[in-house]
Structure 1
Amino acid sequence: MTSRRLSVAALAAASALLLAGCASGESTAAEDDGRIDVVASTNVYGQLAEEIGGDLVDVTSIITSGAQDPHSFEPSAQDQLAVAEADLVIENGGGYDPFIDGLIEASGTEAQVLTAVEFSHEWPGGAAHDDSEGDHGHEHVEGFNEHVWYDPTAMADLVQGIASKLIALSPDDADAFTTAADALAEQITGLESSLADLEAEYAGDDVFVTEPVPLYLLEAAGLSDVTPAAFAEAVEEGLDVAPAVLLESIKLLEGGDVRVVFVNAQTGGAETEQVVDEAEASGIPVVEFAETLPEDHTYISWMQENIAAIQDALEQ
């Protein structure tokens, strides 16, 4: 597969050629099997859709590797074709995966679109799930943490949103979708219970987060993020951390109040490495979080593993 970057116009042209190949019989694309075609921007949302839809859906997750950064990902013509043929598209939104919006625009797809950030009660205006207005929930909002898959409450609502869309697309299968969604939501409630247990024991404990990726989960555990905002913002944007901000961060770690340092396993830089080195030198546990679902995990097993890692670090 080519690694060259394609503009929206180029993607549209490439998609037209692929579609023409399908029409002429020159493509190996499978005929319609009656299942609902779902495209997810990342495998996090793809796995949730698979869990709810089961054998009634075909799910394509565009980003499946930790080596791919959704912020800067450049999709292929095959990704464009998948969106063009989709019945349902699930994106994160909030400026996290803007490539999806480009694919939707270029393809002219009539697919239903679910935007995960809109299920967050911290989204401006509150959680809003009506996508009838079209273009909303896509742009980055200053001060909003778009990494909502780490927010169990938002994900429980998203699960029901996915089920609702699938039911609209296939009403005869409503019972199957509802049963699966309810079972998954109950498991997410179990995650919230585990986080409440951590909060009961560790509420107010200080933690340092090099990026805001896991913040929803840490806040649900009652932990207090003491990271200088300028540090996390710079790392997330791929910018250099100002020397004064780095010095302030190092002094925080030397102060003895920070219980755990959390880092993004998929990105980093010299300043992050300095923070990790200082944490290890000071005997502070370092825990890694990822942005995509690890291989051989479900969303639930992944979150359970993350919560266990938080607890193990706090117990040290």
Structure 2
Amino acid sequence: MTSSSRRSKLFLFSICLSIAALLSGCGSGGSGKTEQADGKINVVTSFYPLYYFAKEIGGDRVHVVNLIAAGVEPHDWTPKSRDLDAVSKAQLFLYNGAGLEGWVDDFLHGLGSDSKVMTVEASKGIQLIQGNPEEGHAGEAKPGHSDLDVDPHTWVSPRSAIVMAANIRDAFVKADPANGKEYDTRYADLEHRLKQLDAKFTQQLSGYERRDIVVSHQAFGYLCRDYKLNQIAIMGLSPEAEPRSQDLLDIAKFVKEHKIPYIFFEELVSEQLADTLASEAHVDTLVLNPLEGLTPEQEKAGETYITLMERNLENLQKALQ
């Protein structure tokens, strides 16, 4: 056996251990708080970005509860009876759609035909990216076996986030027309900040010759589409989707040949797979946050969608140099 073959086998063995550790760490997680508030529009959101947009637009007029607790990966989460109870008592239920919440159809059916809850698919109106995890060639592979027909990670691009925020504004105005002007005003402020963020991404990413980024999870399709980048993903659209051995070898080869300086990982899933691939390719790792949720530490520190996206921009600039 050649030394090259031995290295490949050792690398693949390390990858298998990393995948096992990653999958064993995936749990159903717990729910967030589900209390209601009198005298306000009670809103339930399925995950963090919608919670942030709803809080920013609703202000003191609304009481927002997020189903998924801090530190829980949304792909791993499934609702419980108390979550159905919380939504049944709310005026608005905001979910992403585009296949992110695989449980949502059964969940909404469980509310019953007499339910008065207004349900809002926040991604409505966004041109969705078809999920083709098996397509691509060496260096542009999208490995991993996923049952998602489309890429659900709409919110990761500020441009898509503007559409989602507008859908939430419209729902608030419909649910509480007497305070519509206030929702319009608060939305306009959020829209301004998101447009500033979009302008920063456009301007600060445009000058780099390098356009490839290697990521642990195929979550950045909308960001890459809007800012003309190309993601090479270790995992598929769902972060627990198991990659194929040949794809991993192809990505390691691509990283070496194209002198990719960093491999990105995310905080809500294990970084072992990214670390193993980075070690094989002799490069470093950086965080690229898909903003599916906050860690408890980020929540305590007062981090937001805006601050985390700004940090993503800083790390993208490092990786494109």
CA distance 1:48–1:84, change in 2 (3 Å): same
Q: Is the 8 A contact 2:159 2:226 kept in 1?
A: no
Residue 72 of structure 1 is matched in structure 2 by: 76
Counterpart of 1:252 in structure 2 is 254
Match of 1:150 among 149, 156, 159: 156
Aligned to 2:66: 61
Paired residues of 2:120 and 2:168 also in contact (CA < 8 A): yes
Query: What is the TM-score with the length of structure 2 in the denominator?
Result: 0.74
Question: Which residue identity lines up with residue 159 of structure 1 in the other structure?
Answer: A
Q: What CA distance in whole angstroms lies between the structure 2 residues aligned with 1:191 and 1:203?
A: 21
User: Are 2:304 and 1:302 equivalent residues in the alignment?
Assistant: no
Provide structure 1 residue ranges, at least 5 long, that are not aligned to the other structure.
Answer: 6-28, 125-139
Describe the shift of the 1:86–1:123 C-alpha distance in structure 2 as closer, same or farther (beyond 3 A).
farther
Kept in 2: contact 1:203–1:221 (CA 8 A): no
Deviation at residue 203 of structure 1 after TM alignment: 5.2
Partner of 1:111: 117
> Offset of 1:150 from its aligned partner?
0.4
Equivalent residue number for residue 133 of structure 1: none
Q: 1:180 to 1:249 in 2, by over 3 A?
A: same
1:177: Cα distance to partner?
0.1
**1:20-59 → structure 2 map (5 Å cutoff):** 33-59=38-64
The superposition leaves residues 184-242 of structure 1 with CA deviations (integer Å, 9 ceiling, x where unpaired) of 01111011111111332125522112211233224433322244xxx432x83634322
Kindly provide the amino acid, as one letter, of the partner of residue 248 in structure 1.
Answer: D
* Mapped partners of 1:298, 1:314: distance in 2: 24
User: Percent of pairs identical after alignment?
Assistant: 23
Write the distance in 2 (CA, Å) between the matches of 1:240 and 1:145: 17
Structure 1 residues 196 and 167: CA distance shift in structure 2, 3 A: same
RMSD: 2.6
Amino acid corresponding to residue 102 of structure 1 in structure 2 = D
Higher RCO by CA contacts (8 Å cutoff, separation 6 or greater): 2
DSSP-derived class of the 1:238 partner? coil
Contact 1:117-1:123 at 8 Å conserved across structures: no
Q: CA deviation at 1:70?
A: 2.1
Residues 110 and 221 (structure 1 numbering): CA distance in 2 closer, same or farther, change over 3 Å? Answer: same
Q: State the distance in 1 between where 2:229 and 2:79 align.
A: 37
Structure 2 vs 1, CA of residues 249 and 313 (structure 1 numbering), >3 Å: closer, same or farther?
closer
TM-score (norm 1): 0.75
Look up the match of 2:268: 266
Task: Check the 8 A contact 1:65/1:292 in 2, yes or no.
Answer: yes
SS of 2:207's equivalent in the other structure is helix
C-alpha separation in 1, matches of 2:314 and 2:271: 26
